[in-house]
Chains A and B, each alone.
Chain A
Amino acid sequence: MITAGIDVGSISAKAAIMQDRKLLGASVILTGYNVQNAGRQVLDRVLSELNLSASRIDKIVATGYGRNSIGFADKAVTEITCHAAGGFFLNPEIRSIIDIGGQDSKAIVIDKDGRVRDFSMNDKCAAGTGRFLEVMARALEVDLDAFGELSLRAENTASISSLCTVFAESEVISLISKGAKRENIIAGIHASIASRVMAMAKRIGISPPVMMTGGVAKNIGVVKALEEKLDMPVIVSEHAQVNGAIGAALIASTV
């Protein structure tokens, strides 16, 4: 059985194709403003990369912010359930998943069978999401992709205490004018995001092994900051960004 999972987020859309619990391939594109189109496009893209015809797909599950707009999907399932399924598939040892996306972040606790036991979400404010990092990258005039590397070279972690992104930006500007090193400020930014995520995670009893998924997982600085706050190792799979789509494809085989 060949199944497809489509994860349409507010910023990027991902698709994954699975066959008999094997990942055949995955793809990522920018969502743009037409969610329905984005779903179609990213699926077409991965199919063409795999030289697979759409008719070969038995079932499709859509997830993410735009899941209910994907008319051609057989079912819509939330990204919480999908991230849990995807993470458990990539590593059945894990018991917790932390997903930091462009506009929200979530913590999920799963049981030994990969079922969701509890979850918490930060979907109300930018602090603790990828958006926080974008705002800071602009304030520092540093390329966001360089954040991870730079933070690893920090000698100290600057303290950024504001809960609000706007005021935190204010603190960063203050630090810059006082001559603080970029590396240290970035480490502080990572510590701040990790703090927010940790509070959310601990509320639901996060326990190791922990896996991090979502676009921000590519930032080694955030991963390390999270490890420090949680006092637990954080596993990042190479498929972190498409984890939700993988989970959706897996769930599709049960539809």
Chain B
Amino acid sequence: MFTGASYMKHIDMFKKIVSNPAEYAQSWKQETRGKVIGHFCSYTPEELITAADALPFRILSSGATISKAGAFLQAYSCSLVRGALEDALTGRLDFLDGTVFPHTCDSIQRLSDIWRMNTNYGFHADIIMPVKLDTESAEQYMFAVIHKFRKDLEAALGVRITDAMLEKAVRTSNKARKNLEALYEIRKTSPEKIKSSDLHTILKASMVMDRSRLADLLDEVVKSVEQEGPSSRLPSPKRLVLTGGLCSMPDIYDIIESSGAAVVWDEFCIGAKYFEGRIDETGDLEKNIARRYMNRIVCPAKHTGIYSRGVRLVEKVRESKADGVIFLFLKFCDPHAFDYPYMKDMLENEGIPSMLFEIEEQTSSGGQLKTRCEAFIEML
């Protein structure tokens, strides 16, 4: 496995941030006197937040046991929503200066209302993006939504977001994304060069770190991964593509790797959905930002055609020469659960085996996941 010294230094830093993102955000605030804006979705137009000199902070449930949130949200909502609310109610997110809610699914929609009523982080914005992303009127509306969000941010943060600030933010964002994609490409071609659990850590860190520093840092990380030669590993591991929403089970990467397989691509929200697609740096930046969110890999809570996700998944499997697919999403995630049967069928028709794992709030032992993964890999 990869042991380059500079790479390890970077990974250790990313791991530290990911193990306590709140602490990172707090020290960032102290250092820069800037504001931290929390959000729940890869559709959040982060570039606007960065342009306002604030820190876009992806909120992921800390995994704490649900006690307070149970009085606000029924058990049939997903662990992201319940967990995030639990964190808010128990003071774990007190460093936030505001939260923004891009419209995605029914649960997030209601979380926004519950959050607005029961938390007090100062700034609360709903970014009601269109659900349809494949029509002209939707695009026009998206332009309006991005523009409104810019205005809302300006008013809330007492900042004027100039075109120059926006341009800088867009360039930073593009650079970071380009580098994250490069890491994914390296893993796709040579999975022995980078551990999937490390890549997962890097992605998670990328969603809470100062974006300028991150973009520059990632340049170094890519170089250090490229320059290190392949290590001794099991020859031709079984190659897997992971698809789904949130991967709140980072254990899965090690489980897969210790079973003689390798993850060669994923389509998670904390994965390809986050970095895919660049923003055109010339012309009307607001519109270009809108276009990136219209055109990047689609989330099942949005609509770009009835076969989009299935077709794309099959393409990705072929392109990465994968042997199988693992569907991984949260229990009670309706959009993903509705898409699963047809996507599985499409894969089957192409002779691509797949397995489903639903992540639950109280998934205690890795034992169950381990057994399923191993059995699946034994099948390939």
Interchain CB contact under 8 A, A78 and B368? no
| Complex CA distance for A218 and B170, rounded to whole angstroms | 66
- B142 to A: closest C-beta gap in Å: 38
Nearest B residue to A123, CB-CB? B368
- A209 to B: closest C-beta gap in Å: 21
Residues A78 and B353 in contact in the complex (CB < 8 Å), given A123-B368, A124-B360, A124-B368:
no
Q: Is A24 an interface residue (CB 8 A)?
A: no
Q: Which of B353, B360, B378 contacts A118 (CB 8 A)?
A: B353
The size class of the interface chain A forms with chain B is: 10 to 19
| Complex CA distance for A148 and B267, rounded to whole angstroms | 48
The interface residues of chain B lying within 8 Å CB-to-CB of A79 are: 371, 375
Nearest B residue to A10, CB-CB? B367
The interface residues of chain B lying within 8 Å CB-to-CB of A123 are: 368, 371-372
| Size of B's binding interface in residues, CB under 8 A | 11
Give per-residue flags for B244-259: 1 if the beta carbon is below 8 A from chain A beta carbons, else 0: 0000000000000000
- Segment 34-88 of B: residues with Cβ below 8 Å from A: none
Q: Which of B360, B368, B372, B375 contacts A116 (CB 8 A)?
A: B375
- B71 to A: closest C-beta gap in Å: 22
- A122 to B: closest C-beta gap in Å: 10
| Complex CA distance for A117 and B378, rounded to whole angstroms | 10
| Complex CA distance for A136 and B372, rounded to whole angstroms | 29
Q: Is A138 an interface residue (CB 8 A)?
A: no
| Complex CA distance for A79 and B368, rounded to whole angstroms | 12
The interface residues of chain B lying within 8 Å CB-to-CB of A78 are: 371, 374-375, 378
Interchain CB contact under 8 A, B378 and A116? yes
Interchain CB contact under 8 A, B360 and A115? no
Q: Which of A65, A81, A121 contacts B378 (CB 8 A)?
A: A81
Interface residue SS majority, chain B: helix
The interface residues of chain A lying within 8 Å CB-to-CB of B375 are: 78-81, 116, 119
| Complex CA distance for A124 and B374, rounded to whole angstroms | 18
Interchain CB contact under 8 A, B353 and A121? no
Give per-residue flags for B352-374: 1 if the beta carbon is below 8 A from chain A beta carbons, else 0: 01000000100000011001101
| Complex CA distance for A78 and B374, rounded to whole angstroms | 7
Q: Which of A65, A115, A121, A124 contacts B379 (CB 8 A)?
A: A115
Nearest B residue to A65, CB-CB? B367
The interface residues of chain B lying within 8 Å CB-to-CB of A117 are: 353, 379
Interchain CB contact under 8 A, B378 and A80? yes
Which residues of chain A have a CB within 8 Å of any CB of chain B? 65, 77-81, 115-119, 121, 123-124
23 pairs of residues in contact across A and B, judged by CB atoms under 8 Å:
A77-B374, A77-B378, A78-B371, A78-B375, A78-B378, A79-B375, A80-B371, A80-B378, A80-B379, A81-B378, A81-B379, A116-B375, A116-B378, A116-B379, A117-B353, A117-B379, A118-B379, A119-B376, A121-B371, A121-B372, A123-B368, A124-B360, A124-B368
Beyond known contacts A80-B379, A119-B379: 4 more, CB 8 A cutoff: A77-B374, A116-B378, A119-B375, A123-B371
